[in-house]
Amino acid sequence: STIIFIEHNGTRHEIDVADGNSIMAGAVANMVPGIDADCGGACACATCHIHIDPEWLARLPEKSEMEASLLEFTPNPTEGSRLACQIKVSPCVAGMTVHLPAAQH
């Protein structure tokens, strides 16, 4: 399914990510800048922080306690903050826009 990544500077990347893969894996495989994913997707580093608009956020499963607590340590957490490694791509999120934070550049 297609995921649209918007960098902090406005650069847009429209990427086809295989369903079942995480948003983080799709970004890394396509060299989208702004997702470092230092821990490789273990929900332990918070360098895959992304911001998701409310209408899309509502379609995602709730975050785990572990994800929520890691997000507190990111530089600019917002209501729409999520960890890209914890969100699986599926047809329900086809076309979702994710915003990349400035701090991960």
Enumerate binding residues for ligand FES (CB under 6 A).
24, 37-39, 41-48, 83, 85
Q: Give me the residue whose beta carbon is nearest to ligand FES.
A: 85
Task: Closer to ligand FES by CB, 41 or 80: give it.
Answer: 41
CB of residue 69 vs ligand FES: minimum separation in angstroms?
11
Residues 6+ apart with CB under 8 A from 6: 12, 13, 97, 98, 99, 100
CB of residue 83 vs ligand FES: minimum separation in angstroms?
4
Say if CB 17 and CB 1 are below 8 A apart.
yes
